[in-house]
Amino acid sequence: MPLLAVAALAAVTYAFRLAGPLLRDRVTVPPAAQRLLSSAAAVLLVSLAATSALTAGHGFAGWARPAGVLAAGVLAARRAPFPVVVVTAAAVTALLRLGGIR
Amino acid sequence: MKRTTGGRRTSRALLRDVALVCLADGIVGLSFGATAVAGGLPWWLPVAMSLLVFAGGAQFAAVGVVLAGGSPAAAVAAGAVLNTRLFPYGLAVADVTGPAGPPGSPRGRWWVRLLGAHLVTDESVAFALRGDGPAGRRAGFWTCGAALFAAWNVAVLLGAAVGSAVKNTAAFGLDAAFPAVLLALALPTLADRRTRAAAFAGASAAVALTPFLPAGLPVLAGLGGLAAGWRPRRPGRLRGRLPGRLAGRLPGRRPGRSRRGAAG
Answer whether residue A93 is part of any domain.
yes
CB-based contact, B169 to chain A, within 8 Å: no
Answer whether residue A38 is part of any domain.
yes
Q: How many domains does chain A have?
A: 2
Using 50, 70 and 90 to split pLDDT, how confident is the model at A53?
very high
**How does the average pLDDT of chain A come out, rounded?**
88
The parent domain of residue A78 ranges over 62-102
ipTM above 0.90, yes or no: no
pLDDT, tens digit, 9 for 90 and up, residues A3-43 = 999 999 999 999 999 998 888 778 777 778 777 776 777 78
Residue ranges of chain B with per-residue pLDDT less than 70: 1-10, 101-108, 216, 229-264
Contact B207 A88 (CB under 8 A): no
Chain A closest-CA separation from residue B6 CA (Å): 24
Answer whether residue A56 is part of any domain.
no
**What residue spans define the domains of chain B?**
7-247
Chain A closest-CA separation from residue B234 CA (Å): 10
Q: What is the pLDDT of residue B257?
A: 38
Tell me the C-alpha distance between B19 and B13, whole Å: 10
Q: What is the pLDDT of residue B8?
A: 60
Q: Is the dihedral of CA B129, A71, A68, B192 positive or negative?
A: negative
CB-based contact, A30 to chain B, within 8 Å: no
**What DSSP letter does each residue of chain B carry, written as one string?**
----SSHHHHHHHHHHHHHHHHHHHHHHHHHHHHHHHHTT--THHHHHHHHHT--HHHHHHHHHHHHTT--HHHHHHHHHHHHTTHHHHHHHTHHHHS-SSSTT-TT--HHHHHHHHHT--HHHHHHHHHSSHHHHHHHHHHHHHHHHHHHHHHHHHHHHHHHHH-S-GGGGTGGGHHHHHHHHHHGGGGGSHHHHHHHHHHHHHHHHHTTTSPTTHHHHHGGGGHHHH--PPPGGG----HHHHHHTTSSS------TTTT--
Answer whether residue A21 is part of any domain.
yes
Note whether A96 and A69 are same-domain residues. yes
CB-based contact, A102 to chain B, within 8 Å: no
Closest Cβ–Cβ partner in A5, A19, A90 for B75: A5
CB-based contact, A91 to chain B, within 8 Å: yes
Q: What is the pLDDT of residue B101?
A: 64
Answer whether residue A53 is part of any domain.
no
Chain A closest-CA separation from residue B190 CA (Å): 8
Answer whether residue A54 is part of any domain.
no
Which chain B residues have a beta carbon less than 8 Å from that of A34?
Answer: 88, 241
Answer whether residue A52 is part of any domain.
no
CB-based contact, A101 to chain B, within 8 Å: no
Note whether A69 and A30 are same-domain residues. no
Q: What is the pLDDT of residue A74?
A: 96
Q: What is the pLDDT of residue B7?
A: 57
